[in-house]
Structure 1
């Protein structure tokens, strides 16, 4: 399946134009590295190259800034802890931090030997998993530690720099440079499934299916691959890939990197965001495109559905796919009301 992009805003059932969504206040002044909705409320966590992590309440009339934690270096990732007032950050200064917005305190959880690119918290095991450009992932556990501290319980060498992580139950997917993909079971980290992406291009993002049966990979050449944890012959036959985020321009057909994938937890459909400035939604089961957004001001750096799937957070933030440019577009965060037509499979 592919996504022809006309550049024209889509039309809703009433004949009106569907907009970009509501623009939030308090955006970072530099690029967004990630954003995530809480699993408990409509609070939105935002990490950025502005060297900060922000917590926003998107339900508040003024998009209230709940709090912000400055960092010494750009923050490359963030995730919530076990509530909507605590979080973890992964920073380019090699440090992993736990942040408490309620008490306005933070502490250093641990370090890597290189910039920390990814951080995930497992609700299933209570572990924090971090991935770094030092070619390792580390697992941290609070059990056995004193107070709120976490203890390093494992360091696992990767074939290349870690670019993306995703969790689904006990499954952990690690995507690295060199097109490597390792699949771990958090209960036994010593025997990962070692794979190579079958897209033959660099992985930019990875996201596990809500039903915990597999994962989707987005790449730098405008492709998405759908893969499965089960490695039986029947599952391998069901794998597939498709082209997306491709525009016809003066220089011909141009493929743009896929920066973000976000699954709708109820329907199992998913949204992708790319450097072309568009958001698409897809029905992976039927291999159909469901929706194309209007064009955002610049690259889509990150996406996140709210806990009830009624909202989609979109980070419009230049990702330097064309290098340094004059009049670089400002970073903006939009909240879209999700219409069922955009995400529900069509029978």
Structure 2
């Protein structure tokens, strides 16, 4: 049995069954599947990228109602969006092999600030430990990670990974890079031009997402086989790193339907985290107690991207087709929406620790 127990719908205990009834749909969502979601660190502003080649920016009010405030185009599908720490700048990157910067406090004109030889899968802001200035890191299918000073047109540093970059996350001085062939590279941004540590994913199949802990002491990995792994940068003891099963149907005879873990988001206050998958469900977990906090009913389509707002009071999730069933699985009736889930009560709070006498 996995450490968390099964995340299958069979878990019918009322205290772990989450409620979707208060979730609110984003007004005027993208016209094609969402690829990434990110909230501003300083306001209830949500940026959304999608396969329809657009980046959209929405303002969310206290009742969860949303209003589109700005949008701009790329020349191809957009794969990644991120806000700067002060919330004034938005970066986006995608299949047109470029990253664009939109100054939300200025003229809103999106300008190219980075380029790769192949599509850019991930773009993240970080605060340079050396200069305390805002910088950009991009990861591409050309197998390189590039660092950009936004005042220069050429990268200030490049690192070559083993394979195409599939996922990337930054928290404080921790940069984690997940590539094809299950390589995971850990970078200390105080020494950004070398890999501090390289491991092969503890999961057996393709990496879908890497996500840094809220305190930057480690990261979670999600894969296509319905598993999640918890990894510490510095292993504390033999049991500190572990993996568990999630996003799987209850076994039917000798067959178990297994779904991709498409995204993992950490709660900014409590340090707990969400997993979301191709089965159309999301779950909240406590990694320290090795316990599932809440599981939610299916939302009617694959969940492709998730994020918390800066206070952790809103959990946004995008529903759309993720191609897990190939071309034949797609149809015009497939749901395409972004939902805002109000985080209430103890949904994301860690379990109280039980001290042994």
Q: Please say whether Structure 1 and Structure 2 have the same fold, judged by a TM-score greater than 0.5.
A: yes
Residues 164 and 206 in structure 1, CA contact (< 8 A), matched pair in contact too = yes
The residue that corresponds to 2:175 in the other structure is: 172
Residues 153/293 of structure 1: CA separation in 2 closer, same or farther (3 Å cut): same
Residues 201/17 of structure 1: CA separation in 2 closer, same or farther (3 Å cut): closer
The residue that corresponds to 1:258 in the other structure is: 261
Deviation larger for 189-198 or 37-46: 189-198
The residue that corresponds to 1:123 in the other structure is: 127
Do residues 224 (structure 1) and 232 (structure 2) align?
no
| Deviations 1:70-104, CA, capped at 9 Å, x for gaps | 11100011111244342111110111111134412
Q: Mapping of 1:108-187 within 5 angstroms?
A: 108-125=112-129, 126-142=134-150, 145=151, 149=152, 151-187=154-190
Residues 223 and 258 in structure 1, CA contact (< 8 A), matched pair in contact too = yes
| Deviations 1:31-55, CA, capped at 9 Å, x for gaps | 1000011100110010000100000
The residue that corresponds to 1:188 in the other structure is: 191
Normalization by structure 1: what TM-score?
Answer: 0.91
Counterpart selection for 1:269 from 267, 272, 280: 272
Structure 1: gaps spanning 5 or more residues? none
Alignment partners' CA distance in 1, 2:109 and 2:23: 33
Counterpart selection for 1:51 from 53, 76, 101: 53
Residues 177 and 203 in structure 1, CA contact (< 8 A), matched pair in contact too = yes
**Runs of 4+ that moved beyond 6 A:** 7-10
Residues 10 and 250 in structure 2, CA contact (< 8 A), matched pair in contact too = no
Counterpart selection for 1:84 from 73, 84, 87: 87
Structure 2: gaps spanning 5 or more residues? 353-357
Residue 200 of structure 1: how far off its partner (Å):
2.1
The residue that corresponds to 1:105 in the other structure is: 109
Do residues 340 (structure 1) and 345 (structure 2) align?
yes
Residues 128 and 189 in structure 2, CA contact (< 8 A), matched pair in contact too = no
Residue 110 of structure 1: how far off its partner (Å):
2.0
Alignment partners' CA distance in 1, 2:10 and 2:240: 32
Residue 191 of structure 1: how far off its partner (Å):
3.1
Residues 75/10 of structure 1: CA separation in 2 closer, same or farther (3 Å cut): farther
Alignment partners' CA distance in 1, 2:309 and 2:45: 9
Number of residue pairs matched by the alignment: 339
Residue 280 of structure 1: how far off its partner (Å):
0.3
Alignment partners' CA distance in 2, 1:340 and 1:262: 19
